[in-house]
Amino acid sequence: MSKVFSRRSIMNAIGGTAAAAGFFRPGTAVAKLKKDIEPRGSNGTLERLPTLDLDSYDDFSTATRIWINGDLTRASEQRAAEILKSHGVKPTDKVSFEDTVRWVADDPIIALRSASWQRLQWHMWQELRREFHGNFDAYMSELEAADASGPGVLELNPGIEPEYTKHEIHMQPGGYTGDPFAGHLYHYGTNNFYNGTNHQDQRHTALAGAVPVPADGKVRRILDMGCSCGQQVTALKQRFPDAEVWGIDIGAPMVRYAHMRAVDLGIDVNFRHALAEQTGFPDGHFDMVTSYILHHEVTAAASLQIVKEAHRILRPGGVFYPVDIYPSPTNRSDHGTAIRHVRDWMTHRWNHERWWNDYLTTDYIGEIARVGFTLQDAAREGVGYPMVAPGGPRNPLGIKPV
């Protein structure tokens, strides 16, 4: 049996009390982060990277990624189309995955696209890691000081991580669970992924703004599943300031960072180190359960179980709003086409999206209806598109019947 710690047990272990620290009193005055490492200050809600050189690396990486995603990807797909044509196949034809990969994989432009992606990502992670691990004591002290600060609860449950969660998705060193600074890496790394357009959590704010409210208008408790570094959690709190907002993630270093960031921003939200498929919250506890790009990073079994868990912890009338890449992955019009195979191969193999194929073949949205939600999903009747939907009617919505 795993040994479970909580914020309370950590506080007791270090001789303090939660009440004395003011942790469990929603609305208490904001405590300043005690050991804030911020040598170059902040730009809005984002702490600037701690050195000019690292900031410039990040800047260069973003520009290079935009080139890879733009010109180089277009060149790669043009080559793929030419190669497919030489085999008598159009990009929109349905052919086998194995044949497609076999035909295109030895082309140098297509190889360059994947190699550039992989090398750029490797560089980015290594430079970030060099900073955080090179100053291990300082950054660990900052986390430890935040652990013991409020507002908001932080609950850590060491040892709960199943094997499937331990992969280095996106080639992130150590993955979400295995690096003490996974949250730091993820936050700045994904700023790069978003091509520099999410430095102020714009995407998360848009998504939080798009979550439909229960018909009775009551939003007292909200849970964001797979919250990573907590950007949607803080965005939800800002939309619903009177609600108790929780974020959970299986990466303990991720929720530590998320908590630290929320403390630093003075936003009263709570984090629990937990699996989305086994949250530990009581039946009917929440009015709203959200997730953002979670389902494509879990196994098929976990994806379906997450839907069941959301149904269990929502109260009648509560809403479930999972947002992911492709609103209906198993219902795309381009499913099984040659060009889709090329893209899926690159995503799964060369961006190390370990559970991508599970995602494409698991009807977790259908499961929303099967477990008893009333499903609203315009996307199932439409066409999938290759981006994370910023909200709106194409995202699936489950409403738990009253």
Residue among 121 and 279 whose Cβ is closer to other proteins: 121
Site for other proteins in 283-342 (CB under 8 A): none
SS3 call for 389: coil
71 binds other proteins (CB under 8 A): no
CB nearer other proteins, residue 30 or residue 109 = 109
Q: Is 122 in the site for other proteins (CB under 8 A)?
A: yes
Contact indicator for 158, 5 with CB cutoff of 8 Å: yes
Scanning 104-112, 189-197, 306-314, 372-380 for contacts with other proteins by CB under 8 A, the matching segment is 104-112
Quick check: 351 and 117 in contact, CB under 8 A? yes
Q: Which of 15, 29, 44, 106 binds other proteins (CB under 8 A)?
A: 106
Q: Is 352 left (phi over 0), alpha (psi -120 to 50) or beta?
A: left
* Contact pattern from residue 337 through residue 366 relative to other proteins, giving x for each residue in contact according to CB under 8 A and a dash for the rest: --------x--xxx-x--------------
The Cβ of residue 164 has, within 10 Å, a number of other Cβ atoms equal to: 15
159 binds other proteins (CB under 8 A): yes
Measure CA 162 to chain center. Answer: 18
Question: Could you give the 3-state DSSP secondary structure of residue 318?
Answer: strand
Closest CA to 308 of 283, 334, 277, 287: 277
Q: In this chain, which of 37, 102, 209, 392 binds other proteins, going by CB under 8 A?
A: 102
The owner of tokens 């929720």 is 255
Which residues within the stretch 10-39 sit at the binding site for other proteins (CB under 8 A)?
Answer: none
Range in contact with other proteins (rule: CB under 8 A) among 165-173, 186-194, 211-219, 371-379: 165-173
Q: Cα separation of 36 and 264, whole Å?
A: 8
**Contacting range for other proteins; rule: CB under 8 A; set: 17-25, 153-161, 187-195, 207-215:** 153-161
Concatenating the DSSP letter of every residue in 19-72 gives HHHTTTSTTPPPPPPTT---TT-EETTEEPPSSHHHHHHHHHHHHHHHHIIIII
Give residues in contact with other proteins (CB under 8 A): 52-53, 56-57, 59-61, 64, 98, 101-102, 105-106, 108, 111-112, 114-116, 118-120, 122-123, 136, 140, 144, 156, 158-159, 161, 163, 166-168, 171, 174-175, 177-180, 182, 252-253, 256, 273, 345, 348-350, 352
